[in-house]
């Protein structure tokens, strides 16, 4: 097997292997050649080559989202790693493990006017868990003037070999510690890290034997136990409260044991609000939050106001529940997370620094009595009423975005993964009860539309079951380089809801149906996905009404020889009215 000659490249690659980081997304370049050579020649790694760095980073994010283990991104020096930044920020706020490995010029060649060179040290400093800035291998240090054979460091110590080897070993050990720390951080704290690796030329030389054997440093990854005093106080407050609300944001599937969910469901003083991305299901829980709370009066909001709000998971989609809990603050807000706690509702009192499952396993068995309450039973009646009106409204409305999302979500095959684009798509999804057999994902860390398609494709590559991506037209077109990809599985499906622009802006306050609004907010267009599908080898389907949509969906998820895209065209001028009227109707 061939290895890069540069010891630092060997060190990075061997430690990635030792940490079981198998998926490597490579962006073509020259400065990163030692890394590319090493990763691609080792059959342990699964390597992908994606030219567009922004797309490559979101593709890697999708793989890591699926595996819950770091995916490595490898790029050349210069602006390449800046194009990774949107995905790095998303990983930072979504707790997705990414390892960015950027090749760099040696320090003495930075800031002198060399091409493809920027200040790469700590470039992601506001959105990274750890930055490792490695040191150049000692044999690659700059040479003194007039010397062709020996590095400057050897001249400076008068060829004292023992001293030279000591410095070289110290640099190697320092680099090993930095790489270990970065990789361990990504693995155990779940987030992005950056390893900046300087290489001097020559870059393409290979050897048949490894010259370094880096030390592998491990850490204890056991979940933190809840402090006994804090646990006692939590139990006392919880037992005395008659209105407890649990709100779950973005949450990976199968994170909470079913017995703890059942315990929460059996407590009549507890309401569990879940979102589409919560991946938690129970008949006693309350999905579709906006459907429940949007029509409430001030008196009803007061009645719903919790004594204790317990939250876990990532970002919350619903703006309505944020407004509710900010205006009608709970007496206490506890957040469970081993890493961080956002004061989303401006009343955070406790940050319980462990995993939700660990907390419930310590907390729920110790509850000795339940406060008598009708909190849940009252709101279950409201939920049933809203669901009945929801069904009645669907039977009345014409073909529209609302109708399309309902039809699509009902047609999705069981045991598949659903990736949802941002903006309108994820907000519509909040109004429907999606099958508990589906695993649902969306990039809600930064809530951007920029890499949704690339993320979905990366996820699909790592997923054993079929993956379907549902998105709006602007989000899809924005990230169309995602299709410039040789790895899209044949069973991957994309459904684009094309309403001819940014339909979500028609729902927000603004001067609709004016030239200024159409051009600068809604961004009207007449583009379709047809030519993109032809160029990238996707089977292209269309639907313009309910009958065509039903016909297309009846066979859309069947086995095929190539990935498929269904573009559904809806009338942009009625979608906003239908959605806004919905909340009045269910009231």
* Residue 504: pLDDT band with limits 50, 70, 90: low
Give the mean pLDDT of 157-184. 82
* Lowest-pLDDT choice from 191-205, 262-276, 509-523: 509-523
Query: Angle at CA 364, nearest 5°, toward 363 and 370?
Result: 120
Residues 6+ apart with CB under 8 A from 12: 35, 38, 101, 179, 195, 197
Q: Residue 244 pairs with which residues in a beta bridge?
A: 270, 308
DSSP code of 134?
Answer: P
Give the mean pLDDT of 32-55. 97
Q: For domain 3-204, give the fold.
A: Rossmann fold (3.40.50)
* Lowest-pLDDT choice from 119-133, 142-156, 345-359, 452-466: 142-156
Kindly list the domain boundaries of the chain, sorted by start residue: 3-204, 228-380, 397-585
Distance (Å, rounded) from C-alpha 473 to C-alpha 482? Answer: 14
The pLDDT of residue 144 is 47
Indicate whether 305 pLDDT > 70. Answer: yes
Indicate whether 448 pLDDT > 60. Answer: yes
The pLDDT of residue 573 is 82
Q: What is the pLDDT of residues 176-231, one digit of tens each?
A: 999 999 999 999 999 999 999 999 999 999 999 999 999 999 998 888 889 899 99
Contact between 182 and 116 (Cβ < 8 Å): no
Indicate whether 153 pLDDT > 70. Answer: no
> Do 228-380 and 397-585 agree at the fold level?
yes
Indicate whether 152 pLDDT > 80. Answer: no
* Lowest-pLDDT choice from 140-154, 252-266, 302-316, 521-535: 140-154
The pLDDT of residue 423 is 86
The pLDDT of residue 146 is 47
- Of 51, 179, 195, 176, the closest CA to residue 122 belongs to 195
Q: Which CATH number fits domain 228-380: 3.30.1360.40, 3.30.40.230, 3.90.950.20, 3.40.50.1220?
A: 3.40.50.1220
Q: Which CATH number fits domain 397-585: 3.40.50.10790, 3.60.20.30, 3.40.50.970, 3.40.720.10?
A: 3.40.50.970
* Lowest-pLDDT choice from 46-55, 103-112, 348-357, 405-414: 103-112
**DSSP secondary structure, 523-551, as one string:** ------SHHHHHHHT-EEEEESSHHHHHH
Is the bond preceding residue 429 a cis peptide, omega within 30 degrees? no
* Residue 141: pLDDT band with limits 50, 70, 90: very low
Residues 6+ apart with CB under 8 A from 531: none
Could you tell me which residue, 145 or 123, shows the higher pLDDT?
A: 123
Give the mean pLDDT of 455-484. 97
Distance (Å, rounded) from C-alpha 458 to C-alpha 342? Answer: 28
Distance (Å, rounded) from C-alpha 186 to C-alpha 20? Answer: 12
Indicate whether 145 pLDDT > 80. Answer: no
The pLDDT of residue 516 is 64
How does the average pLDDT of the chain come out, rounded?
Answer: 92
* Lowest-pLDDT choice from 9-13, 352-356, 483-487, 497-501: 497-501
Contact between 197 and 102 (Cβ < 8 Å): yes
């Amino acid at each position: 097997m061939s290895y890069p000659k540069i010891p630092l490249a060997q060190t990075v690659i061997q430690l990635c292997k030792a940490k079981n980081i198998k998926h490597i997304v490579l962006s073509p370049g020259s400065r990163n050649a030692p890394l590319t050579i090493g990763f691609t020649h080792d059959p342990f790694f699964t390597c992908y080559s994606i030219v567009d760095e922004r797309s490559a980073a979101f593709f890697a994010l999708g793989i890591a989202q699926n595996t819950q283990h770091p995916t490595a991104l490898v790029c050349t020096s210069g602006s390449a790693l800046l194009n990774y930044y949107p995905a790095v920020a998303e990983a930072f706020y979504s707790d997705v493990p990414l390892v960015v490995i950027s090749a760099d010029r040696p320090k003495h060649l930075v800031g002198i006017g060399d091409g493809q060179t920027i200040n790469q040290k700590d470039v992601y400093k506001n959105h990274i868990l750890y930055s490792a800035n490695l040191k150049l291998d000692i044999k690659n240090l700059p040479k003194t003037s007039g010397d062709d054979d020996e590095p400057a460091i050897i001249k400076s110590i008068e060829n004292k070999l023992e001293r030279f080897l000591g410095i070289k070993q110290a640099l190697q050990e320092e680099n090993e510690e930095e790489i270990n720390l970065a990789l361990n951080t990504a693995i155990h704290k779940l987030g992005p890290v950056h390893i900046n690796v300087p290489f001097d030329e020559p870059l393409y030389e290979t050897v048949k034997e490894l010259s370094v054997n880096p030390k592998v440093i491990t850490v204890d990854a056991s979940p933190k136990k809840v402090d006994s005093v804090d646990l006692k106080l939590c139990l006392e407050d919880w037992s005395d409260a008659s209105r407890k609300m649990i709100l779950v944001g973005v949450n990976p599937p199968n994170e909470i044991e079913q017995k703890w969910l059942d315990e929460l469901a059996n407590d009549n003083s507890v309401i569990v609000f879940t979102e589409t991305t919560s991946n938690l299901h129970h008949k006693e829980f309350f999905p579709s939050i906006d459907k429940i709370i949007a029509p409430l009066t001030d008196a009803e909001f007061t009645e719903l106001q919790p004594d204790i709000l317990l939250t876990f998971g990532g970002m919350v989609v619903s703006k309505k529940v944020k407004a509710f809990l900010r205006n009608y603050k709970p007496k206490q807000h506890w957040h469970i997370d081993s890493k961080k706690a956002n004061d989303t509702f401006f009343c955070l009192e406790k940050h319980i620094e462990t995993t939700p499952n660990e907390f419930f396993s310590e907390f729920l068995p110790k509850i000795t009595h339940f406060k008598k309450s009708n909190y849940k039973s009252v709101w279950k009646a409201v939920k049933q009423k809203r669901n009945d009106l929801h069904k009645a409204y669907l039977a009345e409305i014409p073909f529209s975005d609302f109708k399309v999302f309902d039809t699509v979500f009902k047609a999705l095959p069981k045991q598949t993964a659903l990736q949802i684009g941002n903006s309108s798509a994820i907000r519509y999804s909040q109004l429907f009860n999606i099958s508990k057999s589906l695993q649902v994902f969306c990039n809600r860390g930064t809530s951007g539309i920029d890499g949704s398609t690339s993320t979905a494709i990366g996820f699909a590559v790592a997923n054993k079951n079929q993956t379907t991506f549902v998105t709006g037209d602007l989000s899809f077109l924005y990230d169309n380089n995602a299709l410039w990809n040789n790895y899209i599985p044949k069973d991957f499906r994309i459904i684009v809801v094309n309403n001819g622009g940014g339909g979500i802006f028609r729902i927000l306050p603004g001067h609709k149906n004016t030239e200024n609004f159409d051009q600068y907010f809604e961004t009207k267009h007449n583009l379709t996905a047809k030519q993109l599908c032809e160029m990238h080898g996707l089977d292209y389907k269309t639907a313009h009404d309910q009958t065509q949509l039903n016909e297309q969906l009846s066979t859309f998820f069947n086995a095929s020889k190539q990935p498929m895209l269904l573009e559904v065209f809806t009338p942009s001028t009625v979608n906003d009215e239908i959605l806004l009227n919905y909340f009045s109707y269910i009231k």
